[in-house]
Structure 1
Amino acid sequence: MRWLTPDEQHAWRSFVRLQERLGGRLSRLLQTESGLSAADFAVLVNLTDVPEGRQRYQDLARALEWEKSRMSHHIARMAGRGLVVRQECPEDGRGAFVVITEAGRTAIKAAAPLHVEAVRELFLDHVTPAELRVLGDVSERVVNKLDEDAS
């Protein structure tokens, strides 16, 4: 067993605290200001990033790191609010797409500027450009390794 050194433990625990507190604060602000949950926002962002605003259920679940049941339940709730629709896949009778609606596009357009301002105020305004580059590089390297291991 390789235990964490004091420096590693400090860095890891600080990272986890940052992630939890920042995520929680951003989620509360998003919900209060736009009525969207962090999960709603994540789904809508992913759908606006792909052509035609539609993505296969399984690809969206993989991108969000969600279990199949969580994906299904959450998309059903969003569909009930008119933010997305489920669309059957004509080439694959078992597959389906999640498609953003006009109401979903309107919601994300209203929420995105509020979210960006909160990200700036709570995070970006407190790091230097050099720190931001290092954070981006480290994050990308770890995500690439996680993706590689998942394949």
Structure 2
Amino acid sequence: MRRILLPLALAGFLAGPALAVQPDEILDDPALEARAREISRDLRCLVCRNENIDDSDAGLARDLRLLVRERLLEGDSNREVVDFIVDRYGEYVLLNPRREGMNLLLWLAGPAMLILGGGVSLVYIRRRRTDATLPDTPLSPEEQKRLDQILDR
């Protein structure tokens, strides 16, 4: 049994992540292919959600990879390619949304909530500390009488 499991475990351990880019998609120009890989790394597969299009086997991811390479062959810059795809599929296609417009609100909301929560906690702790240091004063005779009435003593 060990003779079978050990080679299988070793093969699984040594196997790296397989990219979904097919050989027929790869561009002849290494510089353009490197640019295509750089762009693809930041584009989300709309089927797989949290995978970039290079790692996805989905048909839509293949279409996006081909579209990126097609736009590069037409002479578009990296920014123009990304803008073209965002115009077509929306900002959801970006793995890292842009920090502008309404997205800026989302980027700043997390740190703002952390600071606000820390401030509220600090105020709460300081008030609690001052409440604990107040001296215990005995009840007045009227307050004691009212308390006894409430408790039915």
Q: TM-score range by the shorter chain?
A: under 0.3
TM-score (structure 1 length as normaliser): 0.22
Task: Report which structure shows greater RCO (CA 8 Å, sep ≥6).
Answer: 1
Higher strand content, 1 or 2: 1
